[in-house]
Structure 1
Amino acid sequence: MRIEIRPLTENDLEAVRLFTDKWIGDNYFSLDELQKIYEWSQKNGKTASFLAVDGDVIAGARLTYAPGVWINPETRGLSTDLWSTSPDKMAYFKSLFVSGDYQQQGIGKKLSDTSIQVLKDMGAEAILCHSWLESPGNSSQRYLQRMGFDSIKEHEKFWYPIDYECTRCSPDRCVCTAMEMIKYL
């Protein structure tokens, strides 16, 4: 097994959709949403989203928005009044997923570290994310704290508007809580 970290490409989007259906829940991302994520990952000829691949198998994905391209009036769960940087300098860690077959090998950290370096090159001063508080053993928040993220604000039923099969709440609609977290670069 040799894991390669490489930038996300448009040709990867269908495979990423199948990967996230398996590891997050069916229909979490549509192809249209993944296309938007891909586009919002781009700035100055660079891509902020990355895949970890083992041959043709996706082992993990770090989906990231470049600074200054992603905040709009429909964006939920933002406490801009609590940020110490301007929104146009804020990047966003949208999602990190590592296949159950590849966990505990440092792949998530490698994906995130690679993305952080590119975000710095893009002029980001900070990265925002929403951690999943109900993750097993609160692993999402604990991972982000180890990466240097600080908690800002809790957002109840954060994923409720997304019509997907949450691995925790299914068959009911997702009522999980997100913790808005920030890392200054």
Structure 2
Amino acid sequence: MSEVIYRQITAADEAAVIDLANEVHGDNYLSPESFQHYLQAGTVEDVQLNWLALKDGQMLGVRLTLAPGQWPIDSFCTPSEWPFPAEELCYFKCAAVSEKARGLGIGKTLLQRSIDSAKELGCKGGLAHIWMQSPKNSAYEYFTRCGGEMIKQHEKRWYKASVEDGYYCPVCDGTCYCNAGEMLLKFDT
């Protein structure tokens, strides 16, 4: 039986990463354009924050993480509540694990790989907008088990993406009304 292989994401992984992310999060969650943007935003010189998991050549999981200064602080962010300044925070953009590989520790290992890379950039923590309506509330449960702490809930986080960018929410059956939990994960130093 072969082992799970973890490695950094490259441009050649585009199609497989997009397929898995869209399978888990809904059609048009990632596009070729957004993938390229996130790949670039997750790379600083020779430090890469984006990771994937493979077994027998098949994509099992992906973690997209953006470097400090490479993600927008928008109206769904509450910087006054963060324990660290934005320049000491990475942003956990996307985690997707194939349904057949859930419960094997792949998501947690991918997260740890991104954290280890982010620490090389001086990060003290990572921010995420957690999908509060994920099936069985699995996103919140997972991120909480990993040490994430709730800062604030934001209504209709992905509404604009569903109306303007063609994102299709699998929970809302189209236009997304899901809430996001703005959560912060402090890194062990």
C-alpha separation in 2, matches of 1:60 and 1:95: 10
C-alpha separation in 1, matches of 2:20 and 2:153: 28
Amino acid at match of 1:65: L
Q: Deviations over 1:1-46 (max 9, x none)?
A: 4211110111111221122222221111111001000001011311
**Correspondences of 1:54-65 after superposition (within 5 Å):** 54-65=55-66
Q: Residue 20 of structure 2 contacts residue 97 of structure 2 at CA under 8 Å; is this kept in 1?
A: no
Shift of 1:76: 4.3
C-alpha separation in 2, matches of 1:85 and 1:177: 24
* 1:118–1:150 CA distance, 2 compared to 1 (3 A): same
Q: Residue 3 of structure 1 contacts residue 52 of structure 1 at CA under 8 Å; is this kept in 2?
A: yes
Q: Residue 50 of structure 2 contacts residue 64 of structure 2 at CA under 8 Å; is this kept in 1?
A: yes
C-alpha separation in 2, matches of 1:6 and 1:22: 21
Q: Describe the SS at the equivalent of 1:130.
A: strand
Q: Residue 44 of structure 1 contacts residue 122 of structure 1 at CA under 8 Å; is this kept in 2?
A: no
Unaligned runs of 5+ in 1: none
Report the TM-score when normalising by structure 1: 0.93
**Correspondences of 1:145-156 after superposition (within 5 Å):** 145-156=144-155
Alignment match, 2:143: 144
C-alpha separation in 1, matches of 2:17 and 2:75: 24
Report the TM-score when normalising by structure 2: 0.91
Higher helix share: 2
Alignment match, 1:161: 160
Amino acid at match of 2:81: L
Alignment match, 2:16: 15
Count residues in correspondence. Answer: 182
Shift of 1:167: 1.3
Q: Describe the SS at the equivalent of 1:174.
A: coil
Unaligned runs of 5+ in 2: none
C-alpha separation in 2, matches of 1:99 and 1:7: 18
Identity %: 34
**Correspondences of 1:83-102 after superposition (within 5 Å):** 83-102=82-101
Q: Residue 69 of structure 1 contacts residue 88 of structure 1 at CA under 8 Å; is this kept in 2?
A: no
Alignment match, 2:117: 118
